[in-house]
């Protein structure tokens, strides 16, 4: 898959944003949920629980859609990368499926950003 320099940069930005989105979810929990739970006291009521569930659902659905879209892109790219052998393709696909965002960041810097794949250089 041939990508322009602009496309490579945008993919890199959106790939790293996945890490910040997950961090944003953790920050949201500590900045919103914990203070509200402490302020609610012993009997928080149904509004508190529904508000929490709604906020968490919004974050979780957004993160799942975002990370799934990029995982599909990286799986397709790893499987169709003409610069690497079949064994390396399988290795990347397994790593992306198991480690997801972390493997995607590493894959980006090793396979997408350089003009020639670094693992293809190691194979030759």
* 88-104 confidence digits (pLDDT tens): 999 999 999 999 999 99
Q: How confident is the model at residue 26 (pLDDT cuts 50, 70, 90)?
A: confident
- What pLDDT shows up at residue 98? 96
Gap between the Cα atoms of 49 and 53, Å rounded: 6
- What pLDDT shows up at residue 111? 93
Gap between the Cα atoms of 113 and 124, Å rounded: 19
Q: Scanning the structure block, which residue is given the tokens 């198991």?
A: 98
pTM for the full predicted model: 0.83
Could you give the percent of the chain with pLDDT greater than 90?
54
Q: Per-residue pLDDT averaged across 48-57, rounded?
A: 82
Taking each continuous run of H as one helix and of E as one strand, the counts in the chain are 6, 0
């Amino acid at each position: 898959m041939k990508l322009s320099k602009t496309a490579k940069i945008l993919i890199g930005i959106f790939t790293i944003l996945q890490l910040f989105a997950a961090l944003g979810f953790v920050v949201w929990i500590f900045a919103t949920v914990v203070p509200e739970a402490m302020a609610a006291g012993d009997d928080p009521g149904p509004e508190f629980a529904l508000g929490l569930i709604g906020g968490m659902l919004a974050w979780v659905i957004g993160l799942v859609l975002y990370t799934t879209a990029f995982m599909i892109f990286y799986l397709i790219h790893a499987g169709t990368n003409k610069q690497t052998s079949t064994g390396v393709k399988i290795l990347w696909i397994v790593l992306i499926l198991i480690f997801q965002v972390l493997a995607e960041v590493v894959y980006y810097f090793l396979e997408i950003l350089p003009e020639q794949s670094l693992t293809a250089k190691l194979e030759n």
